[in-house]
Amino acid sequence: MRVGVHTSIAGALENSAHRAHQLGCDAFQIFSGNPRGWRTARPAAAACEEFREARAGYGLRPLAIHANYLINLASPEPAIRSPSVKAFLRELERALRLGADFVVLHPGSARNGNRAGARRKFVESLLRAAQGLNLDGLTVLIENTAGQGSVLGSSFEELAAILAGAGRELPVGVCFDTAHCFAAGFPIHTARGLIETVRQLEAAVGLKNVRLVHANDSKAAFGSKIDRHQHIGKGHIGAQGFRRILRHPKLRRIPFICETPIDRPGDDRRNLQMMRKLGW
């Protein structure tokens, strides 16, 4: 089992790798730029090289880059979809320069309620952004969502439809977020519920396509459709729930990365330690 956390690139790109190593991570995730802004500078070649060297020296794998939160490739509005395509292209370009394994992307929002049409727009926009790029081992991971509003991706069938549409031309997979799954109404906090959820996930998308787990407890109640992350074992999924998740024979082969809050200094280390304690 490989576990890690999301680390900051503040100060320099390679600092995120140093921080991951200091925390005791096996794997890590970063933002490659401002996650809530359209304008993101292209990193210098020297900075990318220093990052790659630091990561390789520590043996950190995989590296996931979480895409900008503003990106909505499914939007019916060209004024939103067009900059989203450009922003995601820049995400892919930065990920290639940094040698990332995965780019994690939210599937966006239907907005007008036409979910089938939004899924088609998402796939079309995703393929347009990646057109002409040699991804060279980089895989785009579509993240499941909590089901809020008209956001896509809260059902495994919807994720499967997206993979089927994009997978003919692009290496794609799924990032499975535990807090989102719980909030969407999958009872992964119970022994029977976890077994059934994994069965449904395997049947719909195939576990071979689940390449990363975002390990987050939930501040929000079961089925609330509210996306609020909590420290491992401190939320509604709970320590026993995470023990079962981490020890599930079909999940523990997948890398786990925490996106838990940092309310006090050292919370990231404590969440990582809790993951190891519960997993072993």
Mean pLDDT of each 10-residue bin along the chain, 280 residues long: 97 97 98 91 95 98 97 95 96 98 96 88 98 96 96 97 96 98 98 98 98 98 98 98 98 97 97 97
pLDDT value, residue 148: 94
Among 42, 69, 157, 247, the active-site one is 69
pLDDT value, residue 138: 98
Helix boundaries (H) for 108-237:
115-130, 156-166, 178-183, 191-204
> Is beta strand 63-66 parallel, antiparallel or unpaired with respect to 27-30?
parallel
Among 227, 231, 244, 268, the active-site one is 227
Asked if residue 153 lies in contact with residue 227, where contact means CB atoms within 8 angstroms, the answer is no
Residue 217 a catalytic site member: no
Asked if residue 182 lies in contact with residue 188, where contact means CB atoms within 8 angstroms, the answer is yes
pLDDT value, residue 97: 97
Where residue 43 falls (left for φ over 0; alpha for ψ -120 to 50; beta otherwise) is: beta
| Predicted TM-score (pTM) above 0.95 | yes
E strand or H helix at 105, and its extent? strand 102-105
Distance CA 90, CA 218 (A): 31
Among 49, 93, 259, 267, the active-site one is 259
Q: Please tell me the CATH superfamily of domain 3-279, with its number.
A: Divalent-metal-dependent TIM barrel enzymes (3.20.20.150)
Question: Cis peptide leading into 62, omega within 30 of 0?
Answer: yes
Asked if residue 237 lies in contact with residue 197, where contact means CB atoms within 8 angstroms, the answer is no
- Residue-level length of the chain: 280
Residue 66 a catalytic site member: yes
Residue 180 a catalytic site member: yes
Residue 236 a catalytic site member: no
pLDDT value, residue 113: 74
Extract the tokens encoding 253.
């082969």
Q: Beta strands of 178-270 (E only): which ranges? A: 210-215, 217-218, 229-230, 256-258
Among 19, 21, 214, 231, the active-site one is 214
> Is beta strand 217-218 parallel, antiparallel or unpaired with respect to 229-230?
antiparallel
Extract the tokens encoding 160.
């499967």
Residue 177 a catalytic site member: yes
Phi first, then psi: what are they for 151, rounded to 5°?
-70, 135
Burial of 131 (C-beta count, 10 Å sphere; 0-12/13-18/19+): exposed
Distance CA 243, CA 234 (A): 13
Amino acid at 22: Q
Residue 101 a catalytic site member: no
| Interhelix angle 156-166/115-130, nearest 10 degrees | 40
For Cα atoms 214, 108, 166, give the angle at the middle one, nearest 5 degrees: 85
pLDDT value, residue 111: 78
Distance CA 258, CA 163 (A): 24
Where residue 61 falls (left for φ over 0; alpha for ψ -120 to 50; beta otherwise) is: beta
Residue 143 a catalytic site member: yes
Asked if residue 174 lies in contact with residue 163, where contact means CB atoms within 8 angstroms, the answer is yes
Among 19, 52, 94, 106, the active-site one is 106
